[in-house]
Amino acid sequence: MADVAARAGVSTATVSRVLSGSRPVAEDLRRLVLGAARDLGYKVNLVGRALRKGRTSTLGLLVPDLDNPFFSSLAQHLSRTFDGSGIDVLVFSADDDLRIERRGIESFLGRQVDTLVIIPCHESESSVSVALAAESTLTIQLDRRVSDVDVHFVGCDNHEGMRLVEGHVSACVDQKRQPVVYVGASTESSSGHERLEGFRSHFGEHPTYLGTFDFGWGQDAAQRLLADGFRSATVVTAADIIGLGLLGRLQSLGHRVPEDFRVIGFDGIGVARLAHPTLTTVRQPVEEIGRTILNLINTATSADRHTLVRIAPELVIGESSPA
């Protein structure tokens, strides 16, 4: 910084304010300092800054799987929320593997991130890793949670999402002609568990098919529905990626959507925009979720009780199940 200050003809304090953005600086001074830093090839030493401040200004985001477009899109939305906050978002994928999940948490803790946001791989077996994170830094569970570890959680109200679906189906669907079936995912994750529970709570006992949160399972589920004799139905799915696979396979086999099969998704970000026809879906409130996490980081103290925040989603009507 002394070299930059000498070249720009300003004090090192001015250089510090410009490069850290900690206080307003006149625009002409800011340009002068940045030009001198550029000419000298100066880069801020983030490790040194972290040692001096006692914080790294980083957030570690651990996702189960970046192959799932919902999680990659969620990471993108969270990064946008934190743009301008002074906090950098670092992303690690666990590849749906508990061992890799544990290694990711240890890696983030070793880098002394100020906050760890975790989407756990498994509703119960991820508890040891989540507890490890919570012992060392502010830890927030996102979208999925393990219930036996007392840490913050911010996510979608899955039961409310299924209530919105039930209201749409009751108002818009001839259920005798297009009976309701559910194509979900295994209950190893809380989102899979809660959406199935929400469906049964609002629809009762309807045919249920459980697989995985991926496109291939949606395709397989379409084959199973047809093999079981369905030639028309209202298919409520646990995720857009499942709905997209199911919708595509049904259409490739000559079935019409929505005339024969209605398809309803859940998530509303990521692959939903790729659906043809457009997908009716429960959209997760990702913007509000991101703002809630940022506010929690800015206000949480070690003395706070751990918060459980469920934010209501919205139903987005598409062509796959019109009003």
294 pLDDT band, cuts 50/70/90, is: very high
**pLDDT for 22-38, tens place per residue?**
677 888 888 898 898 88
Overall fold of domain 2-44: 434 Repressor (Amino-terminal Domain) (1.10.260)
What is the DSSP pairing of strand 280-283 with strand 314-316? antiparallel
Identical fold, 53-155+287-311 and 158-285? yes
Residue boundaries of the structural domains of the chain: 2-44, 53-155+287-311, 158-285
Least trusted range by pLDDT, from 155-169, 186-200, 241-255: 186-200
The 10s digit of each residue's pLDDT in 212-231 is: 999 999 999 999 999 999 99
For residue 282, the cross-strand partners are: 266, 315
Query: To which H or E segment does residue 26 belong?
Result: none
Mean pLDDT of the chain: 91
Give the Å distances, CA to CA, from 192 to 22, 59, 210: 43, 26, 9
DSSP state of 34: H
Question: 266 pLDDT band (50/70/90 cuts)?
Answer: very high
Q: Does 21 score more than 70 pLDDT?
A: no
CATH, domain range 158-285: 3.40.50.2300
Give the distance, in angstroms, between the CA of residue 23 and the centroid of all CA atoms in the same chain: 33
CA dist 250 and 229 (Å) reads 13
Q: For residue 306, is pLDDT > 60?
A: yes
**Look-up of token digits 């899955």:** 158
Contact 183, 245 (CB under 8 A): no
pLDDT for the residue numbered 15 = 86
Q: Is the pLDDT of residue 16 over 60?
A: yes
Q: How confident is the model at residue 20 (pLDDT cuts 50, 70, 90)?
A: confident
Residue 116, pLDDT score: 96
pLDDT of residue 188: 83
The better pLDDT of the pair 46, 266 is held by 266
For 138-189, what is each residue's pLDDT tens digit?
A: 999 999 999 888 899 999 999 999 999 999 999 999 999 999 999 999 878 8
pLDDT confidence of residue 134: 93
Least confident segment among 3-17, 147-161, 193-207: 3-17
When pLDDT is averaged across residues 206-215 and rounded to a whole number, the result is 95
Helix (H, G, I), strand (E, B) or coil at 147: coil
Of the two residues 19 and 108, the one the predictor is more confident about is 108
In the chain, % of residues over pLDDT 70: 94
According to DSSP, the β-strands at 314-316 and 88-93 are unpaired
Q: Picking from 2-16, 118-132, 166-180, 292-306, which range would have the lowest pLDDT averaged per residue?
A: 292-306
Q: What's residue 68's pLDDT? A: 86
Q: Give me the CATH topology for the region 53-155+287-311.
A: Rossmann fold (3.40.50)
